[in-house]
């Protein structure tokens, strides 16, 4: 029997891939009244809240950023500072992944 692997779409390149090949970004509100979301890399894909998926690639991250896919997906405003820190974390994660190989 074939094992079904959950498939998600990368918001950068729109490619459908197995969940394992993607990085999940979760949006959380520290406070219910907060307008801005805090975007974090969800390493265990187990965080609450909305999430989006990206290939493990800076290209996809930047494309998603450029086309405001994050804002579209989360349906809220996200501050520039958030993106800067998220991009930094994402980049760091990419580095960790390649080191492990
Ligand atoms: Zn992608």
| 60-86 exposure pattern, b = at least 16 Cβ within 10 A, e = fewer | bbebbbeeebbeebbeeebeeebbeeb
CA of 84 to the centre of ligand 1 (A): 19
| Centroid of chain to Cα 53 | 5
pLDDT in tens, 48-75: 778 999 999 999 999 999 999 998 998 8
How far away, in angstroms, is 50 Cα from ligand 1 center?
18
Q: Check pLDDT > 90 for residue 2.
A: no
CATH number for 94 = 3.30.1230.10
CA 33 to ligand 1 center in whole angstroms? 32
Q: CB of 55 within 8 A of CB of 22?
A: yes
Predicted confidence band of residue 98 (pLDDT cuts 50, 70, 90): low
Average model confidence (pLDDT) across the chain: 86
Predicted TM-score (pTM) of the model is 0.82
Dump the DSSP string for 15-34.
-EEEGGGEEEEEEE-SSTT-
Residue 17 lies in a domain: yes
Per-residue pLDDT of 12-60, as tens digits, reads 999 999 998 999 999 887 777 777 778 899 877 667 778 999 999 999 9
Q: Which domain holds residue 48?
A: 7-100
Structural domain count of the chain: 1
Question: In 3-state terms, what secondary structure has residue 50?
Answer: strand
């Amino acid at each position: 029997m074939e094992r079904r692997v959950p498939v998600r779409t990368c918001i950068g390149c729109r490619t459908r891939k197995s969940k394992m090949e993607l990085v999940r970004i979760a949006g959380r509100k520290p406070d219910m009244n907060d307008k801005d979301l805090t975007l974090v890399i969800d390493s265990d894909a187990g965080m609450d809240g909305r999430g989006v998926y990206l290939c493990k690639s800076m290209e996809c991250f930047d494309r998603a950023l450029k086309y405001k896919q994050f804002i579209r997906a989360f349906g809220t405003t996200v501050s520039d500072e958030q993106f800067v820190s998220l991009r930094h974390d994402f980049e760091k994660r990419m580095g960790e992944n390649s080191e492990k190989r």
